[in-house]
């Protein structure tokens, strides 16, 4: 029978998915996940259970305190988490990015945090976006100055996931002027401890991804030891750009998880719900949109799998990862819309996960990078002039 399950997956990967589902069933069963979303809270218990099972340290070397594993493993874990609670999958992806900074050979003093982040005991978040700098990240205004062996930071970061739970935020700040008009130069990544008067964190409440712990971070003479600089001064973007393909493919995995969960829910509803003396799933008007969704879902998964293979085989994957993120998120937006229609009023009911998938699928269209910007980059990769 045709299902949304991945096909031809290695046995160890399927076993990994089973482990994730077991943890979620124990600590965050479906109704609990919906309640967590409704309250907008971060499920620390589930997080730590994922960490203790080695699922937060995937991709980081065991010798450094991570759990090893491949990008494909991390993608499978993210997809499974997103099926239950997409907000938590956002945190999984962003922690993965923080983990990449911690495993960077130039991470310096902060790397000692890695084993605790990998087990979920400590949280590190990742602060790039600002009120005036989203897609146009290089417009950021946060400044850092080195004085008497300490960085002093002033500025504001916004939409930062889990900053209210984090011990450090990796902040991208301008440390040096842009030279030759190149704004990417002179930006540095600094691990800023949150437990100090110069750092104020406030929660932001959103209509989607409500349990991801989205925050604003105010830096008013926040300090960090000089050695908390990650990588070379003025070259912070270089470290980030090394991880962009992985971040985009992980974002695509969130979309796959949401799309899969929404389609599965609609299919089972179409079996159960009756109208005019028969299940609504017997009506072509209900069947065809779900069939389109099934076909498009598998096409999106194939592109994600291709990108994962390219990354794992060390090929240039940035364009493919971008296309995977674009296709998976646009596909999922359509799947969720069609699935919700198939459920009528029940799709809007708070007791149904469909309304959560519908809201959460929105984030995937613009984060961590907007689909419009991906289209710009893909067009440029295809030989057209840069349009922005």
State the binding string over 34-73 for ligand FAD (x if CB under 6 A, else -): ----------------------------------------
- As measured in angstroms, the least distance from the Cβ of 316 to ligand FAD is 23
Phi, psi of 295 (to 5 degrees): -65, -45
- Give the separation between CA 293 and CA 4, rounded to whole angstroms: 10
Examine residue 367 and tell whether it contacts ligand FAD (CB under 6 A). yes
Q: Which is nearer to ligand FAD, 71 or 172 (CB)?
A: 172
- As measured in angstroms, the least distance from the Cβ of 331 to ligand FAD is 18
Q: Are the C-beta atoms of 63 and 233 separated by less than 8 Å?
A: no
Residues forming beta bridges with residue 190, ordered by sequence position: 171, 229
Examine residue 102 and tell whether it contacts ligand FAD (CB under 6 A). no
- As measured in angstroms, the least distance from the Cβ of 320 to ligand FAD is 20
CA distances from 242 to 68, 93, 101, 371 (A): 18, 15, 10, 20
Residue from 61, 220, 232, 372 in contact with ligand FAD (CB under 6 A): 372
Q: Which is nearer to ligand FAD, 59 or 127 (CB)?
A: 127
Q: Which residue has the tokens 């985009």?
A: 248
- Interacting residues with ligand FAD between 159 and 188 (CB under 6 A): 159-161
Cis ω on the peptide bond leading into residue 320 (within 30° of 0)? no
Residue from 318, 346, 373, 378 in contact with ligand FAD (CB under 6 A): 373
Q: Are the C-beta atoms of 36 and 28 separated by less than 8 Å?
A: yes
Examine residue 129 and tell whether it contacts ligand FAD (CB under 6 A). yes
Examine residue 388 and tell whether it contacts ligand FAD (CB under 6 A). yes
User: Three-state DSSP class for 62?
Assistant: helix
- 33: left (phi > 0), else alpha (psi -120 to 50), else beta? alpha
Examine residue 236 and tell whether it contacts ligand FAD (CB under 6 A). no
- As measured in angstroms, the least distance from the Cβ of 343 to ligand FAD is 25
- Give the separation between CA 43 and CA 27, rounded to whole angstroms: 9
Q: Are the C-beta atoms of 102 and 135 separated by less than 8 Å?
A: no
Stretch that binds ligand FAD, among 78-86, 177-185, 222-230, 361-369 (CB under 6 A): 361-369
Residues forming beta bridges with residue 278, ordered by sequence position: 275
Number of residues that bind ligand FAD (CB under 6 A): 26
- As measured in angstroms, the least distance from the Cβ of 259 to ligand FAD is 18
- As measured in angstroms, the least distance from the Cβ of 339 to ligand FAD is 22
Residue from 19, 298, 366, 381 in contact with ligand FAD (CB under 6 A): 366
Examine residue 207 and tell whether it contacts ligand FAD (CB under 6 A). no
DSSP string, 135-175: SSGGG---EEEEETTEEEEEEEEEEEETGGG-SEEEEEEE-
- As measured in angstroms, the least distance from the Cβ of 188 to ligand FAD is 15
Examine residue 103 and tell whether it contacts ligand FAD (CB under 6 A). no
- Give the separation between CA 188 and CA 255, rounded to whole angstroms: 31
The site for ligand FAD (CB under 6 A) is made up of: 90, 94, 125-129, 134-135, 159-161, 206, 209, 212, 214, 363, 366-370, 372-373, 376, 388
């Amino acid at each position: 029978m045709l299902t949304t399950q991945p096909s031809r997956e290695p046995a160890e990967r399927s076993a990994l998915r089973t482990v994730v589902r077991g943890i979620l069933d124990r600590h965050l069963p479906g109704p609990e996940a919906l309640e967590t979303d409704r309250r907008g809270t971060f499920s620390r218990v589930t997080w730590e259970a994922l960490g203790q099972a080695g699922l937060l340290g995937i991709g980081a070397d065991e010798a450094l305190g991570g759990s090893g594993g491949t990008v494909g493993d991390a993608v499978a874990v993210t997809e499974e988490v997103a099926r239950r609670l997409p907000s938590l999958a956002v945190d999984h992806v962003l922690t993965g990015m923080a983990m990449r900074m911690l495993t960077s050979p130039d991470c310096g003093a902060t790397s000692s945090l890695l084993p605790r982040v990998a087990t979920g005991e400590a949280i590190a978040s990742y602060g790039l976006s600002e009120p005036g700098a989203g897609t146009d990240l290089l417009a950021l205004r946060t400044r850092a100055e080195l004085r008497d062996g300490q960085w002093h930071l002033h500025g504001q970061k916004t939409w930062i996931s889990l900053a209210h739970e984090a011990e450090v935020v990796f902040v991208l700040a301008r440390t040096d002027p842009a030279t030759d008009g190149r704004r990417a130069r002179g930006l540095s990544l600094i691990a800023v401890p949150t437990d100090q008067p110069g750092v104020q964190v406030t929660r932001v409440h959103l209509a989607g991804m409500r349990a991801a712990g989205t925050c604003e971070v105010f830096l008013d003479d926040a300090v960090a030891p000089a050695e908390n600089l990650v990588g070379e001064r003025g070259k912070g973007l270089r470290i980030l750009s090394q991880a962009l393909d992985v971040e985009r493919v992980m974002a695509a995995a969130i979309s796959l998880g949401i799309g899969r969960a929404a389609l599965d829910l609609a299919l089972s509803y179409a079996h159960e719900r009756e109208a005019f003396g028969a299940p609504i799933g017997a009506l072509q008007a209900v069947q065809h949109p779900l069939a389109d969704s099934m076909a498009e879902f598998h096409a999106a998964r194939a592109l994600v799998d291709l990108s994962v293979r390219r990354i794992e085989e060390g090929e240039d994957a940035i364009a493919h990862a971008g296309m995977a993120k674009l296709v998976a998120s646009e596909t999922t937006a359509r799947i969720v819309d069609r699935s919700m229609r198939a459920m009528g009023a029940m799709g809007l009911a708070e007791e149904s996960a469909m309304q959560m998938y519908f809201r959460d699928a929105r984030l995937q269209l613009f984060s961590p990078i907007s689909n419009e910007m991906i289209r710009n980059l893909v067009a440029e990769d295809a030989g057209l002039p840069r349009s922005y």
